[in-house]
Amino acid sequence: MDLDLATKRIMITGAHGFLGNKLLSELQARGIRKLLTPRRAELDLREQTAVRLYLSAEHPDIIIHLAANVGGIGANLRNPGTYFYDNLIMGTILLEEARQIGLQKFVAIGTICSYPKTTPVPFREGDLWIGYPEESNAPYGLAKKMMLVQAQAYRQQFGFNTIYLMPVNLYGPGDNFNLETSHVIPAIIKKIDQAQRLEESEIILWGDGTPTREFLYVDDAVQGIIKATEKYNDSEPVNLGSGSEISIKALAELIAKEMNFKGKIIFDKSKPNGQQRRSLNCSRAYEKFSFKAQTKLEDGLRRTIDWYLSKVSEQEQS
């Protein structure tokens, strides 16, 4: 039977981040009021005693674990140890303490960075263990992947209901536009905007432009997470994606067109490409809980660009 989320106390970790804000807003719009959304200052998920005390006091029915310490290729290369430890320990502690209080359901949000470097395209969940992840983000990907191992072990031994979802690269209004830690879409948007404001004739992007990526609009990701929380109760991991693959070069050209940027797009081939191809098979999500992405990339990019430019304008006027 589907879970009636309106009757549940739902804890969302990372509720004030990019994806978390959107999920929180959607749940509130559906009239769900029993929501726990601790900030890091209130609850450090790396501290087991703090997590134990919080869960014992608040006793949620469902936890949706979105919190992560993550960045783009550059940030991954600079912080492999931090990203490994923080993400591993957060997932490990939260799952264990949630089991101890008899939580009804744990929704673990993983990452497609967990897939092996040489995964056949499109990525299928059954290929998750055929090799080692792409080196630039392997520590982060493996740390998040351990939640799947722990979840399946806990289901087998304790009957603990944990599901594991793997969203593809997310984007949309509210994304992180800090060039030190942002992912590719907000980074390109910001670089083009900066070039236009400074009247520069080119932007420089990492790699050679040939790698491909799949992107999922953040509102679609929210719908997938909610559907899975309501309907999915199995141990196997599930991809969440759009089913559309695009090269970084084509993506940059598309964003440049949307922003009316006439300058050159130069690729710095001395910088790493990351994984060469990423595209998901999303049939399991449709079969298990009827999820299918609705937003076309062009439409999502337009909304994201408009949001970013409006925020820049607000900052200039303030």
313 Cβ partners below 8 Å, 6+ apart?
A: none
Please say whether the beta carbons of 153 and 91 come within 8 A.
Answer: no
| Claim: this prediction has a pTM higher than 0.85 | yes
Residue/partner pairs of 283-289 with CB below 8 Å, 24 or more apart:
284/125, 284/236, 284/238, 284/239, 285/224, 285/228, 285/238, 285/239, 285/240, 288/228, 288/231, 288/232, 288/234, 288/238, 289/224, 289/227, 289/228, 289/230, 289/231, 289/232
Nearest-CA neighbor of 164 among 244, 103, 225?
Answer: 225
The mean per-residue pLDDT over the stretch 208-214 comes to 95
Alpha helix positions (H), 121-215: 138-158, 184-197
CA geometry: angle at 125 spanning 124 and 128, to 5°?
100
pLDDT given for residue 14 in this prediction: 97
Q: Which residues contact 141 (CB under 8 A, 6 or more apart)?
A: 111, 113, 114, 115, 133, 134
3 state SS of 115: coil
d(CA 151, CA 99): 10
What's the one-letter identity of residue 127?
D
The tens digit of pLDDT for each residue in 276-316 reads 999 999 999 999 999 999 999 999 999 999 999 999 988 88
Is 1's pLDDT higher than 80?
Answer: no
pLDDT score for 296: 97
Q: Where are the domains of the chain?
A: 5-172+216-243+279-294
Mean pLDDT to the nearest integer, 152-171: 97
Structure tokens at 270: 């001395």
Share of the chain above pLDDT 70, in %: 100
Count of all residues that appear for the chain in the document: 318
Segment 102-121 mean pLDDT: 96
State yes or no: pLDDT of 75 exceeds 90: no
Q: Which residues contact 24 (CB under 8 A, 6 or more apart)?
A: 12, 15, 16, 35, 37
Q: Hunting for tokens 């793997």 — which residue is that?
A: 166
pLDDT digits (tens, 9 = 90+) for 174-190: 999 998 888 899 999 99
CATH fold for domain 5-172+216-243+279-294: Rossmann fold (3.40.50)
CA distance 20 to 66: 7
171 a catalytic residue: no
Tokens for 103? 């939580």
C-alpha span between 111 and 239 (Å, rounded): 9
* Cα 236 to Cα 160, 206, 248, 268, 284, distances in angstroms: 14, 35, 30, 39, 10
Instruction: Assign 173 a pLDDT band (cuts: 50, 70, 90).
Output: very high
The residue annotated as part of the active site, out of 83, 115, 140, 154, is 140
In sequence order, the 6+-apart residues with CB closer than 8 A to the CB of 104 are: 3, 8, 61, 62, 161
What's the token pair of residue 2?
């589907």
